[in-house]
Amino acid sequence: MSELRTAHVVVVGGGVIGLSVAWRAAAAGHRVQLVDPEPASGASFVAGGMLAPIAEAWPGEEELLELGSTSLERWPGFADELSRASGLPSGLRREGTLVVGVDSADRAELDELAGYLSRQGRSVTRLSGREVRRLEPSLGPAVRGGLEVPGDLAVDNRSALAALRAAATAAGVEFVAAPARAVRAGVVELEDSTVDCDVAAPLA
């Protein structure tokens, strides 16, 4: 057990997942290095920040809905811990999801989704185009209807990335500003050197 607590961990990739793993590993007492030429950038920086397994559910994907919902339930606690560890806002938003449609085909899909969510015991409210625009005034007149799904969350991904980087830094993560060429058991190959470690985790 003592060997596990003092492991040297190298995380390759400084997106949301990589930064989260590095922060948690360092906070647990490991020596952690994160390899990324530009951490807190890339796909995570331009992502939509949707935490919406309920609004994205579909008939036949009940197991995926359950898995996503379980993950969703853990986000507020994770966000609170992140804010405390970083001293920065986590970016979590709790307003729910608004799903909109602009034509009859969209309305048919929304009706199917609303019916499915209701059968699964999920809260959902059908809205007219006027009601949707009252909730979100920036939507144009082409929007003919929508659904309000209060159970979903969202996150300002750039705020989350800033908080994750600050939390990782505070926990003692060492940032290695270099691209990784390959990851093998116990070794991360950089362009002109290698990093030896106990655990190498390639993550986005």
* Percent helix, strand and coil across the chain, each to the nearest 5: 40, 25, 35
Strand spans (E) along 141-186: 145-149, 153-155, 174-176, 180-184
Cα gap 129→140, rounded to integer Å: 9
Do 7 and 30 contact (CB within 8 A), yes or no?
yes
3-state secondary structure of 64: helix
For helices 16-27 and 157-171, give the axis angle rounded to 10 degrees: 30
Tell me which residue of 70, 54, 87 sits closest to 154, measured CA to CA.
Answer: 54
Task: Please give the chain's pLDDT, 204 residues, in tens.
Answer: 344 557 899 999 999 999 999 999 999 999 999 999 999 999 999 999 999 999 999 999 999 999 999 999 999 999 999 999 999 999 999 999 999 999 989 999 999 999 999 999 999 999 999 999 999 999 999 999 999 999 999 999 999 999 999 999 999 999 999 999 999 888 999 988 888 888 776 665
CB neighbour class for 60 (10 Å; exposed up to 12, middle 13-18, buried from 19): exposed
Cα gap 131→178, rounded to integer Å: 50
Name the pTM for this structure. 0.87
CA 202 to chain CA mean position, Å: 17
Tell me which residue of 108, 109, 145 sits closest to 128, measured CA to CA.
Answer: 145
In angstroms, the Cα distances linking 17 to 39, 106, 131, 157, 189 are: 11, 33, 37, 12, 21
